Amino acid sequence: MGRVEKGVKCCVSGCHNEAIRSISADKVKSAGLRTESEKRAYLCKEHYKEYKKKTKKDKMLEKLRYKG
């Protein structure tokens, strides 16, 4: 059983919702979200959606770069 299943809270400063995903804190910080953790960042549904929107272009460029 992981931390998300145990009911950890969202790591974005000012948010106290239940987390649904665990992502590397470096990736979350590079997307522009302010986190309080150093290794893993736990995101709630709203902040995970925001993270996906901000990293969509980067993921697409990486995919195209390695496809060729």
Q: How would residue 68 be classed by pLDDT, with cut points 50, 70 and 90? A: low
Per the prediction, the chain carries an average pLDDT of 91
Domain residue ranges of the chain, discontinuous segments joined by +: 3-67
- pLDDT tens digit string along 32-65? 999 888 899 999 999 999 999 999 998 899 899 9
Structure tokens at 56: 């969509």
Taking the model in full, what pTM does it have?
0.84
pLDDT surpasses 90 at 1: no
The CA distances from residue 32 to 3, 7, 22, 28, 59, in Å, are 23, 24, 16, 7, 15
Percent of the chain scored above 90 by pLDDT? 76
